[in-house]
Amino acid sequence: MLVLTLLSPLSGASQAAELRVGQEARSAVTLTVYTQDLALIDEVRRVDLAAGRSVLALEDVGKGLRPETAILRGEDLRVLEQSFAFDVLTPQRLLEAAVGQKVRVVRTHPQSGAETVRDAELLSIEGGPILRIGDRIETAEPGRIVFDTLPAGARVRPTLLAEIESARAGPRDLSLRYLTGGLSWQADYVATLDPDGSRLDLTGLITIVNGSGAGFEGASLRLVAGEVNRVRAPRAEQVMQMARMESLAAAPMADVPVQRAASDRYLYSYDRPVDLADRETKLLTLFQAPGVAAARRYRFSELVSAYQGVDEVSPIQAAVVVEIENAEAAGLGRPLPGGTVRVYEAAAGGPIFAGEDRIAHTPEGETLELTLGRAFDVTGEARRTAFEPLSNRSYETAQEIVLRNAKDKAVEVKVFGQMPPGWRMLSETAPHEVETANRIAWTLQVPAKGEAKLSYRVRVSQ
């Protein structure tokens, strides 16, 4: 088996031409992370600069860095040119660059451990290395291939290169801001419902995934809830857009993130420093809200049929919905990022998983509706009791809907119906509510161990 080894780094001339600035030079870093595989990195690095021109090699940046968005600034400093070296060193990259070049093959004796070195020429790597060693062509040479230098342009890690001109010598702070992919976050919620379904404890959790290729220690973390438009514009336009960006206001100290409006989105800020290593997934608490007012509802959306062709709906189970008013008076009242809500409820022997639902970004004042599944003991069925054509464009139809409740207590059930265009209610045994122009709903009380009936007749003129 062939092992690849690099004996020496870049040439002395190349090293002297650059000033390496790694993450150890960071004095501050702020991560503003979006839910769209996007993050704004804003950092400060302390650098001792010489007067005149030099090249800075800013290492430990995100491998998804968008070079057209990188802005480097410093006192008495002028940036002449920037480039992003993303040609990261890999075994394959070493082999590709060495095709047609001289290399060395090092063999280790299996018993003595002694090494022997032989000069070779790398002829090809298609399907595996092909070497010329002396007067032989080898395809499965045991040992390791040794290279003397890095391929031109290749680096150990992604690096932002900046040619600068400094008006004076000495240490100073350089600020670097850029957009990168590979960082994202999502919200998840855990709700524990009281046995009677009137209260729940709600915990908001944040999951941050860092696949950016860079680690961040002691970072100020900000999370943006809300979608941002990402125009695939020509790069020159993107540079101008980035140059016009303004810094968002810093948030006050808090044990959990403080949310505040940021234009048309919400910003959640952690002022407690966060360590986020590359390829790390981190879970943080967004908020805890005990005793939030809730209501368990039972609903049917499949029973009502005022269209032609459906004569009977077999018994089906009601959908179970938990309603939560996002208001301070109800124990909540905060902007909620979109995410998945997992609900648990009390049962003999301990809580059970009751179901989960996904919510959209929900501002304060809205009502959350979580559909958890189907109720085992609340059922409904329907049958058509009349259908009378009036013309080729109008008819009258009637239905009877029977709701049954096998529980030991009465329940409230809502029956939704989608009406055809041109409908008019002629008669009904319970008053309906108009949800939209063609969507209506009836609310019925179904007694314990009993049933309730709903009958209606509509005329449809199209």
290 vs 143, residue with greater confidence: 290
Burial (0-12, 13-18, 19+ Cβ within 10 Å), 407: middle
Tens-place pLDDT, residues 200-213 = 999 999 999 999 98
Span of 41-45, 190-194, 240-244, 320-324 with lowest mean pLDDT: 240-244
* pTM for the structure as a whole: 0.71
CA distance 298 to 192: 19
CA distance 347 to 377: 16
Span of 107-121, 323-337, 422-436 with lowest mean pLDDT: 107-121
Share of the chain above pLDDT 70, in %: 86
Tens-place pLDDT, residues 122-161 = 888 888 888 888 888 888 666 788 887 777 666 777 889 9
Of all helices (H) and strands (E), which one includes residue 284? strand 280-300
CA distance 144 to 127: 17
Q: In this structure, what are the phi and psi dihedrals at residue 62, rounded to the nearest 5 degrees?
A: -65, 140
pLDDT band for position 87 (50/70/90)?
low
Q: What confidence score (pLDDT) does residue 96 get?
A: 79
Q: Say which residue the tokens 């559909």 belong to.
A: 371
Q: What confidence score (pLDDT) does residue 248 get?
A: 27
Q: In this structure, what are the phi and psi dihedrals at residue 12, rounded to the nearest 5 degrees?
A: -60, -35
Share of the chain above pLDDT 90, in %: 61
CA distance 236 to 185: 29
- What sign for the dihedral angle of Cα 380, 384, 386, 390? positive
Q: What confidence score (pLDDT) does residue 257 get?
A: 61
Query: What's the rounded mean pLDDT across residues 293-299?
Result: 95
Of all helices (H) and strands (E), which one includes residue 237? helix 235-243
Half-sphere exposure of 338 (CA within 13 A, CB side): 10
Half-sphere exposure of 401 (CA within 13 A, CB side): 28
Is pLDDT of 12 > 60?
no
Q: What confidence score (pLDDT) does residue 13 get?
A: 35
Q: What confidence score (pLDDT) does residue 29 get?
A: 96
Q: What is the side-by-side strand order in the sheet with 265-276? A: 71-74, 170-180, 39-49, 26-33, 216-225, 265-276, 258-262
Q: Is the separation of the CB atoms in 46 and 173 below 8 Å?
A: yes
Is pLDDT of 242 > 80?
no
SS (H, E, C) 94-135: HHHHHCCCEEEEEEECCCCCCEEEEEEEEEECCCCCEEEECC
Is pLDDT of 243 > 50?
no
The CB density around residue 42, as the number of other CB atoms within 10 Å, is: 20
Q: Is the separation of the CB atoms in 266 and 226 below 8 Å?
A: yes
CA distance 104 to 114: 16
Which residues are CB-contacts of 104 (< 8 A; sequence separation ≥ 6)? Answer: 117, 118, 119, 120, 145, 146
Closest listed residue to residue 417, CA positions, set 396, 394, 433: 433
CA distance 105 to 117: 6
Q: What confidence score (pLDDT) does residue 10 get?
A: 34
pLDDT band for position 239 (50/70/90)?
very low
Query: What's the rounded mean pLDDT across residues 359-366?
Result: 92
Distance, C-alpha 396 to centroid of its chain: 50
CA distance 276 to 282: 7
Is pLDDT of 443 > 80?
yes
Q: What confidence score (pLDDT) does residue 341 get?
A: 97
CA distance 62 to 278: 9
